[in-house]
């Protein structure tokens, strides 16, 4: 059982390494960074306490929001999805990403206190 799981994982990693374009890999690295940041914040909250709660919430929401926006960017940039995003050029996707981030950070900084 574990053997098949291990082989699936190694196959997946191999496929990923070879077929994913560099751009997407960079975004994936960014996603991993955001994920880890969010996890560490949550860990702090669980271990030490929820004070100050608003700061925790704003930081956590920031991570979650950034993750989602980055995922959207990744989907829109992926050349394999070009059919689904004919009106959205990669530049447009990036511009949307930046704008959404501005709004997200405005809210996050307001709430962090």
**Residue ranges binding another protein (CB under 8 A):** 22, 25-26, 29-30, 32-34, 36-37, 40-41, 43-44, 48-49, 51-52, 59, 82-83, 86-87, 89, 91-92, 94-95, 98, 102, 105-106, 109-110, 112
**For residues 113 and 52, is the Cβ–Cβ distance under 8 A?**
yes
Cβ closer to another protein: 7 or 82?
A: 82
The contacts of residue 88 (CB under 8 Å, 6+ apart) are 76, 96
**For residues 80 and 23, is the Cβ–Cβ distance under 8 A?**
no
Cβ closer to another protein: 11 or 105?
A: 105
Q: How far is the CB of 54 from another protein (least distance, A)?
A: 12
Q: How far is the CB of 10 from another protein (least distance, A)?
A: 20
The two three-digit tokens of residue 108, written as one number: 């996050």
Q: How far is the CB of 3 from another protein (least distance, A)?
A: 29
Q: Is 8 helix (H, G, I), strand (E, B) or coil?
A: helix
**For residues 63 and 37, is the Cβ–Cβ distance under 8 A?**
yes
Q: How far is the CB of 17 from another protein (least distance, A)?
A: 11
């Amino acid at each position: 059982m574990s053997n098949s799981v291990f082989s699936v994982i190694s196959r997946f990693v191999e496929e990923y390494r070879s077929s994913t374009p560099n751009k997407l890999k960079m975004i994936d690295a960014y996603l991993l960074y955001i994920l880890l940041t969010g996890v560490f914040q949550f860990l702090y909250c669980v271990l030490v306490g929820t004070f100050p709660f608003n700061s925790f919430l704003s930081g956590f929401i920031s991570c979650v929001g950034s993750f989602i926006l980055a995922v959207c960017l990744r989907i829109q940039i992926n050349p394999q999805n070009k059919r689904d995003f004919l009106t959205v050029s990669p530049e447009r996707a990036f511009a949307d990403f930046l704008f959404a981030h501005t709004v997200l950070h405005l809210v996050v900084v307001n709430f962090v206190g």
